[in-house]
Structure 1
Amino acid sequence: MLEVSRLWKAYPKTDGGESVIVKDFSAKLAEGEFATLIGHSGCGKSTVLSIVAGLSEATKGGIILDGRETDEAGPDRGVVFQSPCLLPWMTAFENVMLGVNQVYFTASKSERRQVAEYYLSVVGLSESMHKRPAELSQGMRQRVGIARAFALQPKMLLLDEPFGMLDALTRFELQQVLLDLWRKFRITTLMVTHDVDEAIFLSDRVLMMTDGPEAELGDIMKVPFERPRDRKAIMEDPRYYELRERLITFLNDRSHIRPSLEPNFQPSIELAEAQMGLVPTQVA
């Protein structure tokens, strides 16, 4: 579904040189896969996501989505940011309708209303859809953002730390809301996160980025848990702690290692497969 090929992002310096943020980043996502992108602050995770979303231009490299090269934003990608970016003078329903009216322009007004109401109900806002953002909690506003993205029925969902500003209980609730929606519609998803436990619970694979500047793809980890997933059962599985240790070890001890500068660096089997262009096995 998605192929990111040798992606670079650099900004010019005042002295005439350039500051490279992301260097030679390549990855593939299979149709219906849920992948997370993890790394330290400033490593370029959100930069990669913005380029895939068409909100930022790549310096070099390309993006192929569903067999077509793309370099601009479009309704085929639904984006959810850390802050849901709702228009404050509109209700939750009206905020969702903004996108629905653009995508379903051939549908009747009644049909478009039904789409917006359906997705707001699915995320638990059937009683609050006619409230303005100031009347909603942070978690409820983020539910509106999720409903707005899914209502577009995009080919791909892009999430930039959507739960980073929420308390732990609300974050757990919205992770489950997201998973339930993902299981229902099976939209290919790439999510940026700082949270190791969140990455393991949600993902089919975790893509690990090296430290910036000149951040690269450092490793890839497959998550073996079957779906649907139960948080308690996963945390009681001994494999969970092995996966968690692997991610933490990368972040603490190996994130400074750039594969392109280490001739003796031995990538994991998963990363080697990805670099050879093999499409990952989708978790059922």
Structure 2
Amino acid sequence: MESHVFNVLASDEGERIDKYLSAEGEEWSRTLIQQWVKEGNVKVNERPVKSNYKIQLGDTVSVFVPEPEPADIEPEKMDLDIYYEDADVLVVNKPRGMVVHPAPGHLSGTLVNGLMAHCKDLSGINGVMRPGIVHRIDKDTSGLLMVAKNDTAHESLVNQLVNRTVTRRYKAVVHGTIPHDDGTIDAPIGRDKKDRQSMTVTRENSKHAVTHFHVLERFDEFTFVECRLETGRTHQIRVHMKYIGYPLAGDPKYGPRKTVHFPGQVLHAGVLGFHHPKTEEYLEFEAQLPQDMELFLESIRKK
């Protein structure tokens, strides 16, 4: 049984424990946490509590995560957009609107379901729910992902991510007109105290994050940019662009609401480069802008 321990900060005081833990554990739903509470797997200061317990400054919260039951994830035939594949690695272009891997209550229609139907061999390091998945992009972000087909390849690709030798370039449309052609955002990212389902630039409980951007095209109310990730934090581009005053168009979490007609943030992971896990040859792939982004750009060019 896996255990996790959290020390309650002043900024979290007074929050329900189920809400607090659903934010601390990125893939823990409140329903799942409430089930663990009923089973006695959540304790505060070594004592069981109820789901509506309001945490206090100085509380020590212990979570004992039961061993997961093997998930019955069904392979699903999909028309996957495969850019490269060999015995070790696969590169796929994920469409906007598709979830990368299954989660409790969401076991079908994901990229992993499609990958399982496409090939038998996927790495198992990330567990039964995320076979082959080395890194993720958000549901409403389109673009390229590398997938490991064995554990040796998985370890190599993860190490490349940690060592920042993977090339990841995204194209995005942001609100506002950026006056300078190039810039670097070096600002740590952590969980937002006011909304623990969101990330923000903060000095507390944060991780180093660096994004480089280059302006591709300017419009009256928008800017088309290319962003290069030096680090890979959750929602990094979305958070960093908001931080400098140019949030992504269509972003329901970090941007102004209902200002554009687009299914999510206007963001595409267009370039992915890495060293092959076995041959060490550098490989780089580019996925052209999806049609929805092309149409969006055409619409703002006409204004």
Q: TM-score range by the shorter chain?
A: under 0.3
Which structure has the greater CA radius of gyration?
Answer: 2
Q: Give the TM-score, by structure 2 length.
A: 0.24
Between 1 and 2, higher relative CO (CA 8 Å, sep ≥ 6) is seen in: 1
